[in-house]
Amino acid sequence: MRSRLAPIIGEDGFRILFARSLHRARAEHPWLAREAVSPDNAFSSLTQSFASRPPEQAALGIRALVAHFDDLLHALIGKELAARLLLNPNGPPQRTNQEIDP
Amino acid sequence: MKKRVPISLLETGVPGLDTILGGGLPEFSFNLLAGSPGAGKTTLAHQIMFSMASPRRRAVYFTVLGEPPMKMLRYQQQFAFFDVDKIGKTVRFVNLASELLKGDLSKVLKTILQEVEATSPGLVFVDSFRSIMLATKGHPRGESELQHFVQELGVHLSSWEATTFLIGEYDPQDQSNPIFTVADGLIWLSQDTYQGSMVRTLEVKKMRGVATLPGQHTLRITAEGIRTFPRAILEARPTRKAKSNLALKRISMGVPRLDEMLGGGLPKGYSVLVAGPSGSGKTIMATEFLAEGVRRGESGVIAAFEKSPGLGLSTALDRMVRTGRVAIVSTRALDLSIDATLHELTEKVRLMKAKRVVIDSLSGFELALAPTYREDFRDSMYRMISVLTTLGVSVLATSELEDRYIDLRFSPYGTAFLTDAIILERYVQLENELRRCVTVVKVRNSDHSKQLREYRIVKGRMVIGEPLAGYEGLLIGQVAPGQPGPALAHGASKSR
């Protein structure tokens, strides 16, 4: 998600969305660690949280986090645009001018 | 003969803007969309981008600090032009904030150029460019670095066959700004509040390669997006001689005896001002004017400003509107611009192939205008009436006169000289009764009656009676028995 969204909404934009999603997910799964996403230290605390839990519980936590992230994105920019950005953020591999205009 | 390089003009997709630009936006031009916050810069950029972007001309939109991209996407998608299907296919968004935060303009330039070289977009947007300029402030080599940046960007993007738009807030007084020199086009958006009313305008201050329409043009933002209303530019009016020839053809006003007073009807293509106090029957005369056209198979258009919101049209007028013989220009009270109204009027005239236009009334129109436009109302009316009459339609405009009985006035705006003919309605007190009289004050290049005739409103129609002979001072409220003189003829008399 980060690799798809950050080039469009910026690292800051992604970081803020992620922090808000995590805040919501922690209300349901308090064991989730607080995480400050940074380019150098990506999700390290969270990874540790997940590793310290049984796989089923970790999976629930991940699902909750992703679901909140989706909900937030949908609330802010709508389902259609969110899906477009996540699935096909900046289109197929680009071609050169020569290829486009024979 | 020298062969010039052809400049393709791109359709912007913004109603009215291509006309202002003199046909469209020159391809491969390097443009600045500038203006104050809230003036509509980002919206204009998005509208142009979604309209122009196609598989053959893909667009890349760089966001640079300024408005957060999430917010921009949230709000821009509210407009009808925002096409989600184009995102990822022909429209790309790229955020450059991190590059800029590092404070290195060369890195920003490199990133933009890498993206352009990799994807070969036909359209490049950088929003907001002001952020880039601010980042160089205080930097020891800030000014020269910015100049280098802009020049490199301009040269590269044009060479890569991209039409470019830099969006930002700039100080129009800052003539030394290198961007102004490098830019091929400079489109300025303004948002001014005056006496509580807000007016948006667009001005093309510079556009290389095309002849643009000068001046500030009204701009509106609706759910559909931006719409501009090109300022009406006067075309040469028919010469006096041509007018004389036109005057040979006359049209009926639809009120018995009024044609006779006008010297045989209103010369076709003339504008006539019907001035009178409240309740004197100006709208009735205007309705008869349109109804007579309808009887003769001519369509009409009315801009009705006289009615209060919610107050319906007269039965006769309503019937003509419902049957599609007369079009009505919808009015949005209190924030109109002359050009927006004129645009609607001329569109309807063309659509209906109308021959008669009514503006009822100039007084109501003035009130409906945004205060900014009221100050040059007389100039604007001149443009409006001139544009309408050059379309070949006959125009009847009504004008409210103050109930003053100590002097003689024809219009409160000094607009009387703008029209070709003037009909004056007046209340007079005669034999302890309030009665109405009508007279023709002028008909340019034509004979007309100078009589004052009494008229009555009977079942919603105007019935003109006999001349009010034997009185003096009727128009200035100082009525006295007149001196016996030569009997007044009922027909036309020579005015010149």
Residue of B117, B158, B110, B163 lying closest to A95 (CA atoms): B117
Length of chain A: 102
**Which pLDDT score is estimated for B102?**
67
Whether the predicted pLDDT of B167 surpasses 60: yes
Is residue A6 within 8 angstroms of chain B, CB to CB? yes
- Determine the Cα–Cα distance for residues B170 and B113; give it in Å rounded to an integer: 24
ipTM of this complex prediction, to 2 decimal places:
0.77
Split at pLDDT 50, 70, 90, the class of B291 is: very high
What sign for the dihedral angle of Cα B122, B127, B128, B132? negative
**Full-model pTM:** 0.73
B193, containing H or E segment: strand B185-194
Is residue B475 within 8 angstroms of chain A, CB to CB? no
> How wide is the angle at C-alpha B315 spanned by C-alphas B311 and B317, nearest 5°?
90
CB contact under 8 A, B73 and A9: yes
Percent of chain B's residues with pLDDT above 90: 39
Is residue B95 within 8 angstroms of chain A, CB to CB? yes
CA dihedral B419, B389, B373, B199 (to 10 degrees): 170
Whether the predicted pLDDT of B162 surpasses 70: yes
Q: Write the DSSP assignment of B338-372 as a string of letters.
A: HHHHHHHHHHHHHHHT-SEEEEE-HHHHHHHB-HH
Q: Which of the pair, A90 or B435, is modelled with greater confidence?
A: B435
Whether the predicted pLDDT of A99 surpasses 60: no
**Which pLDDT score is estimated for B20?**
94
In B, residues 157-196, which contact A (CB 8 Å cutoff)?
A: 161
**Which pLDDT score is estimated for B413?**
60
**Which pLDDT score is estimated for B136?**
67
Q: pLDDT tens digits, residue range B323-357? A: 999 998 866 555 667 788 888 888 899 999 999 99
Whether the predicted pLDDT of A95 surpasses 80: no
Q: Which of the pair, B238 or B116, is modelled with greater confidence?
A: B116
Is residue B70 within 8 angstroms of chain A, CB to CB? yes
Distance from CA of A51 to the nearest CA of B (A): 31
Residue B262's contacts (CB-CB under 8 Å, 6 or more residues apart) are B250, B253, B421, B423, B440, B443, B446, B448, B449
Q: pLDDT tens digits, residue range B237-288? A: 554 454 554 556 899 999 999 999 999 999 999 999 999 888 889 999 999 9
What sign for the dihedral angle of Cα A55, A56, A60, A66? positive
DSSP state of B210: S
- Determine the Cα–Cα distance for residues B320 and B356; give it in Å rounded to an integer: 13
As separate numbers, helices (DSSP H) first and strands (DSSP E) second, chain B gives: 16, 24
Q: Which of the pair, A94 or B397, is modelled with greater confidence?
A: B397
Whether the predicted pLDDT of B447 surpasses 50: yes
Whether the predicted pLDDT of B496 surpasses 50: no
- Determine the Cα–Cα distance for residues A64 and A58; give it in Å rounded to an integer: 10
What SS3 state is found at B146?
helix
Whether the predicted pLDDT of B483 surpasses 50: yes
Give me the sheet containing B197-207, strands edge to edge.
B91-95, B59-63, B123-127, B163-168, B30-35, B185-194, B197-207, B217-222, B225-229
**Which pLDDT score is estimated for B369?**
76
Considering only the beta carbons, identify the residue of A81, A88, A96 that sits closest to B77.
Answer: A81
Whether the predicted pLDDT of B486 surpasses 50: no
In Å, how far are B384, B406, B412 from B422, measured between CA atoms?
17, 20, 13
- Helical packing angle, B69-76 and A2-28, nearest 10°: 90
Residue of B130, B175, B123, B182 lying closest to B153 (CA atoms): B182
Distance from CA of B72 to the nearest CA of A (A): 9
Question: B116-130 b/e with 16+ CB inside 10 Å = b?
Answer: beebbbbbbbbbbbb
Q: Which of the pair, B359 or B66, is modelled with greater confidence?
A: B359
Split at pLDDT 50, 70, 90, the class of A96 is: very low
**Which pLDDT score is estimated for B172?**
65
**Which pLDDT score is estimated for B418?**
79
Q: Which of the pair, B176 or B426, is modelled with greater confidence?
A: B426
Residue of B459, B479, B465 lying closest to B437 (CA atoms): B465
